Amino acid sequence: MSDKGVVLVTGGAGFIGSHLCERLLAMGYRVLCVDNLLTGRKHNLSHLLDHPLFSFYEQDISKSLYLDEPLKIVIHFASVASPKDYMTFPIQTLKAGSLGTFNMLGLAKAKNADFVLASTSEVYGDPAEHPQKETYWGNVNPVGPRAVYDESKRFAEALSMAYMQKHGMPSRIARIFNTYGPRMRSDDGRAVPTFVMQALKNEPITIHGDGTQTRSFCYIDDLIDGLIALIHSNVTGPINLGNPLETSILEVVQWIIRLADSASPIVHIEPLPDNPRRRNPDIALAKLHLGFAPKVGIQDGLAKTIAYYRASIA
């Protein structure tokens, strides 16, 4: 067993989860990764499977999980995260946020472990406040097409706070804003991988709406830095983690076309229902309490991401 202790990461075969497992191993933790591979990919962990401090369990955490090992930290990342996927798997998405969170909180309590929840900027819905502070309660349609994800995360936050207040259980909540980089599934429907793959194939790049809607894109390495800082802090949160540089979708597409040296035309299609017009984190709390400050500029991050997908196509 590692001197650092044992960390359980649910959803560890996913995009962010696999990078987090990798960083925790590099820091000397023993890492137990649990994923049912609904949207995660074991390929994301191929370089970790033979690591002496790493174990992988294929299981759905909406069902009970029993582990003999002592745990220091339970990090709950298991969730269907892209609109395309959670509209395909609505019930599984709700179960991961409700039953999955309940099971992982119970496991953390039984093991006397800290609990860390991966929440999302989607708890703010289509926000009327810009940038979004953690004190903002959000503007969410509870019965709309995105509700299965938005409300599952809002419930998970409420359940985490209830365990902390009722049982005094150390809990931390990270509200993660749009993150991109290597290991995102190319077919998961999210903006960056979709645009990059279209650009690399010189296909028309499809933008929902006029492209003036904004997002704040955070490169994966920066997000992992923030998560590690949160895990090792006494901050309970919720706390925003993301890049505060607000960028229009059209600008992102234009950068991708240039960086990929693509001949793709831009095609505008119907806007997505309940798609937020603006999304931008206020990260003042993360800066103050975690020393969090994203370092990777969007063009540098996009160049690294394009190189990853170009290699995967080759």
Active-site residue set = 149
Measured at the CA of 199, the angle between CA 298 and CA 299, to 5 degrees, comes to 10
| Beta bridge partner(s), residue 6 | 30
Query: Angle at Cα 105 formed by Cα 100 and Cα 108, nearest 5°?
Result: 125
Backbone dihedral region for residue 30 (phi beyond 0: left; psi -120 to 50: alpha; all else: beta):
beta
* Number of neighbouring beta carbons within 10 Å of residue 278: 18
Neighbours of 62 (CB within 10 A): 20
Neighbour order of strands in the sheet with 6-10:
54-57, 30-34, 6-10, 73-76, 114-120, 171-176, 239-241
261, 202 Cβ separation under 8 angstroms? no
Pairing state of beta strands 247-248 and 214-215?
antiparallel
